[in-house]
Amino acid sequence: MSKEKLYEYKNFKSDGARIHCVRMQGETHWKLHNWDGPAINPVRKDSPHKKEYHINGIPFSEDDYKETISQQEGLPFYKAAGFKDVRF
């Protein structure tokens, strides 16, 4: 059984902003993505970036993002409990 990841997740700081990205298996490009809040979140007041919401690289306004998140059922796949947490 191979241990290939379905996705890779990165977050880093750039120009005073925290940026969240994801890359799915088989893709070469990173996409802005964050289920838990803005994908680009300024952490300094003098940052040239503004708060931006993205899911899988698709930009959303803050209201549309909140509506999309509220319509979601269950946990995202990366937060779901796996078999390693199951005890017999």
Q: pTM to 2 decimals?
A: 0.73
Per-residue pLDDT of 29-77, as tens digits, reads 999 999 889 999 999 989 899 999 999 999 999 999 999 888 877 766 6
Q: What is the pLDDT of residue 72?
A: 78
DSSP 52: B
CA dihedral angle for residue 8, residue 28, residue 16, residue 70, rounded to 10 degrees: -60
Per the domain annotation, does 32 fall within a domain?
yes
Per the domain annotation, does 85 fall within a domain?
no
Per the domain annotation, does 22 fall within a domain?
yes
CB 23 within 8 A of CB 29: yes
Per the domain annotation, does 79 fall within a domain?
no
